[in-house]
Amino acid sequence: MSRIVLLDGAAGTCLWEKAEKRGFPKEPVWKYNIDHPEIVSELVREYLEAGSGIIQTNTFSANRQEIAHFPGYSTEETVRAGVRITREALKGTDCKCSLDIGPLSMFLEPYGDLEEDECREIFDEMIRAGMEEGPDLISLETFMDVEMMRIAAETAKQYHVPVICSMTFDRSGKTMFGNTVEDVIETLEPLGIDAIGLNCSLGPVLALPVIREFAEKTKLPLFFKPNAGVPSGPQEQTASAYTAETFSEELVPAFPYVSYIGSCCGSDPGFIREIRRKLEEWEHD
């Protein structure tokens, strides 16, 4: 068995593609947990068949701030459905289900109007709902502000399952809020989290120095899901900057550092299949 756990790839763009093929509207993908669960389940099974050992739920932005724009939906119903769909699709396998939580669209004070207590309440509402369906772990990913990540991680750790924390960095090796790798480690490691790392924004080559710096400064297992394309919103389409083959080839230098590896925006199950092939080659060398 590989010492590196293979993760999944992008969810949003894959679900939009499936929706388009069936004539469904292109909407925030959390809505598909309620309206079209069959395409969410189908994607989970595709990642499972590609070799993923952990698959994240389709709940990234299913928080009250986002859901409030769509009457008739609730955080509890949407998040519980997302976890339930994933768990049912994985039944009878060794693949783990990870409750996926992303950052909030509002900024914390003093950068914005969001107070810490409200932020904590919003994350707890999502996590509490998801934990009702029994995920194996919690993934907090694509955070740009380590203070918001701290609040989310403190909340998640109360539920007694493994917690992975993943920030997003730019070419300077800092987050949009100016947080360095060292800032992230110093803030999050004392919370007792189970893995740390980065996802999104950068492709494998540009992200490699960041994950290498994590490896130099922490003993925590490292999580690595760089981009294969450019992040997009519901009205856009992410075009991959890579083929699955070139992306997986550029991931190889990160293998010695990481415990969890996958792909982010612009990828699909084909990317995971190729990463699996590269991992098998690397481990047999």
CATH (domain of 236): 3.20.20.330
CA–CA distance, 88 with 72 (Å, rounded to integer) = 25
Pair of tokens at residue 51: 């070799």
Q: pTM of the prediction?
A: 0.95
CB of 16 within 8 A of CB of 27?
Answer: no
pLDDT of residue 241: 77
Provide the number of structural domains found in the chain: 1
Q: Give which of 11, 162, 5 is closest to 82, Cα–Cα.
A: 11
pLDDT of residue 230: 61
Q: Cβ-count burial of 169 within 10 angstroms (0-12 exposed, 13-18 middle, 19+ buried)?
A: buried
HSE, side-chain direction, 13 A CA sphere, residue 269? 17
pLDDT of residue 24: 97
Buried b (16+ CB within 10 A) or exposed e, 257-273: bbbbbbbbbbbbbbbbb
pLDDT-flagged residues of the chain (< 70)? 1-2, 230-240
pLDDT of residue 2: 60
pLDDT of residue 76: 98
Q: What is the pLDDT of residues 15-52, one digit of tens each?
A: 999 999 999 999 999 999 999 999 999 999 999 999 99
Q: DSSP character for 189?
A: G
Q: What range does the domain containing 192 cover?
A: 5-284
Q: Cβ-count burial of 254 within 10 angstroms (0-12 exposed, 13-18 middle, 19+ buried)?
A: buried
